[in-house]
Amino acid sequence: MRQTLIMGNWKMNGTRAESQALAKAIVAGLDAGDQGIAVCVPFVYLSDVLSIIESTPVALGAQNVADQEKGAYTGEISATMLKDCGCTYALVGHSERRTYYGDTDTSVAARFCQAQKQGVTPVLCIGETLEEREQDKTFSVIDQQLNAVIDAAGVEALANAVIAYEPVWAIGTGKTATAEQAQEVHQYIREGLAKQNADVAENVQILYGGSMKPENAGELLSMNDIDGGLIGGASLDAESFLSIYRSA
């Protein structure tokens, strides 16, 4: 039985004070037995947020990780540093990274491997653009993005990873994939993995991301192969984030 995971992605939002307040409000809304909740915080506020969520059910994540281990890579943050700062998770290959910062399938695979090497769980983000969907390329894009990581790390590596299916056309646009559209891709991903390793396919958490909000979370999360959510906009408000968490 896969555990549900609800993960916030704060992106480049908030001040230190706002990040602390948001973390406090999330913690305040949780009960002792809660689990399966995490927040991906801007690098500079990781430590501030950690001091609030330490010893609570909320796990800490970063939004990216370097594709190199250490050295002369000005401006980059290594997996060792993330581990040191208390990160359990790191997003890799978020579509905003791929689109605006040139993250390629190869560099995403390297980031994935660096994270795993340090015991930080990579959350591999994959998904098609609107143009690709309209050209019926959704599955081939998914294959290409996923295979780049499988080729570099092996399918077994996905046993210690999370996959996030995020259709680019649904991110930050208010346009959510319907539960059926999302389930179709999640099922495709799981069935594809099952051909390579049944255990990995059965156990890997596949999150949906793209305008998930309290009003649509219940339906999306009720689908067989949707194991949680990666939530941007709605995770900046503790009440909506907790409401999505409760619907899981």
Whose Cβ is closer to ligand PGA: residue 14's or residue 154's? 14
Annotated active-site residue in 128, 132, 166, 186: 166
Q: Which residues lie closer than 8 Å to 49 by C-beta, 6 or more apart? A: 19, 20, 23, 39, 41, 60
Whose Cβ is closer to ligand PGA: residue 190's or residue 213's? 213
- For ligand PGA, which residue has the nearest CB? 232
Whose Cβ is closer to ligand PGA: residue 45's or residue 208's? 208
Helix residue ranges per DSSP H, the chain:
16-28, 46-53, 79-84, 95-100, 105-117, 130-134, 138-153, 179-194, 198-203, 214-221, 238-247
Q: Is residue 186 annotated as part of the catalytic site, yes or no?
A: no
CB 15 → ligand PGA: shortest distance, Å?
19
CB 165 → ligand PGA: shortest distance, Å?
11
Whose Cβ is closer to ligand PGA: residue 43's or residue 154's? 43
Q: How far apart are CA 82 and CA 181, in angstroms?
A: 34
Whose Cβ is closer to ligand PGA: residue 116's or residue 176's? 176
Q: How far apart are CA 225 and CA 201, in angstroms?
A: 10
Could you tell me the two tokens for 216? 């649509």
Contact residues toward ligand PGA (CB under 6 A) are 9, 166, 171-172, 209-212, 230-234
CB 128 → ligand PGA: shortest distance, Å?
14
Closest CA to 43 of 73, 16, 69: 16
Q: How far apart are CA 186 and CA 224, in angstroms?
A: 9
Annotated active-site residue in 94, 96, 128, 186: 94
Where in 36-98 does DSSP place strands (E)? 37-40, 58-62, 89-92
CB 233 → ligand PGA: shortest distance, Å?
3
Compute φ and ψ for 206, nearest 5 degrees: -115, 110
Q: Is residue 166 annotated as part of the catalytic site, yes or no?
A: yes
CB 8 → ligand PGA: shortest distance, Å?
9
Q: Cite the active site residues.
A: 94, 166
